Chain A
């Protein structure tokens, strides 16, 4: 059984926001990249499915060569191969990313696609469901539990929603996006990192995929959110806290 797993290199979430904004605007390159954590959860899940007859895990990433190390670290967790799509210096939006991935899905015809539920830089949470919408496939997002039915034609998933855990029974092929509590991604070991350099790697260019070049959404600018009031009033004990809350009319 073949599974595609998507991986996005993102700025380290601990990057100070001002530095991140600068790098997004192409003003500096001093940002560390990591593989999007939610995507590593997807990779881990694919690897755990190896006992269930999954024997071909293909990582798909839309990225340029400068961020290969992040993709390689994901391959080294235990994937078989990768398809890379070079954006050729374009800033691609969610729709174009999904369209590029859809191109690979149509060619590879996997049993299903596993993705992270969101990228920790854009926080858009869009590429998975857009992909499902483009393909017309069933989708299950924010998944924290997943198991196959007997003939592996469907999966039962638990989704983390505002209301609680929603259990769905989903027909394959489908697009499944992974939430934090699905698993703990393993670390790639050094020998596997070295081996991953030999993993077959297909390289495509965005401009070759026949996708409409016009962006659906563009970025017009950034700002830093207004900080909170700034002042923190320190109180000495519980009774001063209660008095302060009463004074501020926050409690009766």
Chain B
């Protein structure tokens, strides 16, 4: 078994989710008495490559070229596909995210390989490793078996622990032979500037729902988040209303998060939202409707008007 971890950059830094992917690679390698390698793609990524090279990988392939300054599924797929074929990798792992959700299946098409998305566990069925992943808005778990020689896996970053530290692997620059692609051109990234922690990996998250009534109240929600050193997340209702941009959305079609503390404020707890917070350690719900479904998944509940409670929390925390 030859395992390859596709590590990723995000806004000039290593993505935190790489760590969960490396953890799964270490588990797979241990089960099979083998090793794993990693690859990192980008432009001028020497420092990030050194930072990444601390987990006992055999080899770290570095693809450093101007064509990879911005993430693009088409060019990245060509590069990985070439590396996989040249070195004969048969397990390719990445971190579940909007990038991997975009390029991994393209790779599956290009390599005619089976893929499992958002794998949260490994399990043995009749002596072979199968993959567990959430389906149906996270309301069910499915065990899947891949039959092709190459397995493509994206790993749910909220489901795996930290990787073991280890030695540095041999650094091998790899020429992917990919130049800028005329078919797809990067224009820009529209992103709201924020001083708060990154929602995907924050230890504490304050979630805002339609109950806050207007965008104006986000100032108060923000004050609570800052008191807690928390990130702000939101339901689809809040994003659809244009109160926050889409990267704040938590749920089936937004981010899946696993903070130690999630405070849901004015959120009903629809299955699609619940799908994104299942990994949270402690869920606190503040809602004036005692029947709201959020109380079924909350660890701590407070039935009250959020406009009374939130200022009191800011005051008392």
Chain A: residues with CB nearer than 8 A to chain B? 11, 13-14, 17, 20-21, 93-95, 98, 117-118, 120-142, 144, 156, 158-171, 174, 179-181, 214-225, 228-229, 231-242, 244-245, 248, 250-251
How many angstroms between the C-alpha atoms of A122 and B118 in the bound complex? Answer: 11
- On chain B, the residues within 8 Å of A135 by CB distance are 109
- On chain B, the residues within 8 Å of A167 by CB distance are 186-190
B220 to chain A: closest CB distance in Å? 13
**27 A-B Cβ contacts within 8 A?**
A14-B271, A17-B136, A95-B112, A118-B253, A124-B105, A125-B105, A126-B108, A129-B103, A160-B247, A161-B99, A163-B98, A163-B247, A164-B189, A166-B188, A217-B115, A218-B145, A220-B144, A222-B141, A223-B140, A225-B138, A228-B297, A232-B296, A234-B301, A238-B309, A238-B312, A250-B282, A251-B228
How many angstroms between the C-alpha atoms of A136 and B107 in the bound complex? Answer: 11
Q: B313 at the A/B interface (Cβ < 8 Å)?
A: yes
B interface SS class? mixed
Q: B219 at the A/B interface (Cβ < 8 Å)?
A: no
A interface SS class? mixed
Other A-B contacts than A129-B73, A168-B184, 6 sampled, CB-CB below 8 A, are A123-B136, A133-B107, A136-B110, A170-B184, A181-B240, A233-B301
Size category, B interface: 35 or more
- On chain A, the residues within 8 Å of B144 by CB distance are 217-220
Q: What residue of chain A has the Cβ atom nearest to residue B309's Cβ?
A: A238
Q: Which of A118, A138, A142, A237 makes the CB contact (< 8 A) with B74?
A: A138
- On chain A, the residues within 8 Å of B74 by CB distance are 138-139
Q: B45 at the A/B interface (Cβ < 8 Å)?
A: no
Q: What residue of chain B has the Cβ atom nearest to residue A13's Cβ?
A: B137
- On chain B, the residues within 8 Å of A117 by CB distance are 253
Instruction: Please state if A232 and B299 are interface contacts (CB–CB under 8 Å).
Output: yes
Instruction: Please state if B247 and A170 are interface contacts (CB–CB under 8 Å).
Output: no
Instruction: Please state if B189 and A169 are interface contacts (CB–CB under 8 Å).
Output: no
- On chain A, the residues within 8 Å of B98 by CB distance are 141-142, 159-163
Instruction: Please state if B246 and A134 are interface contacts (CB–CB under 8 Å).
Output: no
Q: What residue of chain B has the Cβ atom nearest to residue A128's Cβ?
A: B105
How many angstroms between the C-alpha atoms of A163 and B98 in the bound complex? Answer: 9
Q: B59 at the A/B interface (Cβ < 8 Å)?
A: no
**Which chain B residues numbered 264 to 317 have a C-beta less than 8 Å away from chain A?**
271-272, 278, 282-286, 295-304, 308-309, 312-313, 316-317
Which has the most chain B C-beta neighbours within 10 Å: A132, A179, A231?
A132
Instruction: Please state if A123 and B77 are interface contacts (CB–CB under 8 Å).
Output: no
Q: B143 at the A/B interface (Cβ < 8 Å)?
A: yes
- On chain A, the residues within 8 Å of B106 by CB distance are 129-130, 132-133, 139
B10 to chain A: closest CB distance in Å? 7
How many angstroms between the C-alpha atoms of A225 and B158 in the bound complex? Answer: 14
